[in-house]
Structure 1
Amino acid sequence: MTGSTPQPLSTNHPRPLDVHRLEVIHVDGDAYTVDVRGHRLHVDQPAEAGGTDTAPTPTELFAASLATCVAFYAGRYLHRHGLPRAGLRVRTEFTMATDRPARVASLRLVVVPPPALSEQQRAALLAVASHCTVHNTLHQPPETDIELEP
Structure 2
Amino acid sequence: MKILLLSEDRLRVQGGAGPLSVEADSAEMTYTPGHMLASSLAVCTYSVLHSWATNADLPADDLAVEVGFGYVEKPHRIGTMEVSLVWPSLPAERREAAKRAAGVCTIHRTLHAPPEITTVVAA
TM-score by length of 1: 0.59
Once residues 126 and 142 of structure 1 are traced to their aligned partners in structure 2, the CA distance between those partners, rounded to angstroms, is 24
Greater relative contact order structure (CA < 8 Å, 6+ sep) = 2
State the identity %.
29
Superposed CA offset, 1:91-146 (max 9, x none): 2211111x222210100111122415241x22111101112100100111112101
Over 3 Å counting, the alpha-carbon distance change for 1:114 and 1:54 in structure 2 is closer
Calculate the aligned-residue CA RMSD, in Å. Answer: 2.4
Query: Which stretches in structure 1 are left out of the alignment for 5+ residues?
Result: 1-38, 43-52
Which 4+ residue blocks in structure 1 deviate beyond 2 angstroms?
none
Q: How does 1:44-83 map to 2 (within 5 A)?
A: 55-83=30-58
Instruction: Report the count of equivalent residues.
Output: 100
Superposed CA offset, 1:16-66 (max 9, x none): xxxxxxxxxxxxxxxxxxxxxxx9x99xxxxxxxxxx68411111101111
Larger Rg: 1
Once residues 116 and 46 of structure 2 are traced to their aligned partners in structure 1, the CA distance between those partners, rounded to angstroms, is 26
Once residues 119 and 45 of structure 2 are traced to their aligned partners in structure 1, the CA distance between those partners, rounded to angstroms, is 27
User: Which one has the bigger strand percentage?
Assistant: 2
Give yes or no for the alignment of 1:101 onto 2:109: no
Aligned partner letter, 1:137 = T
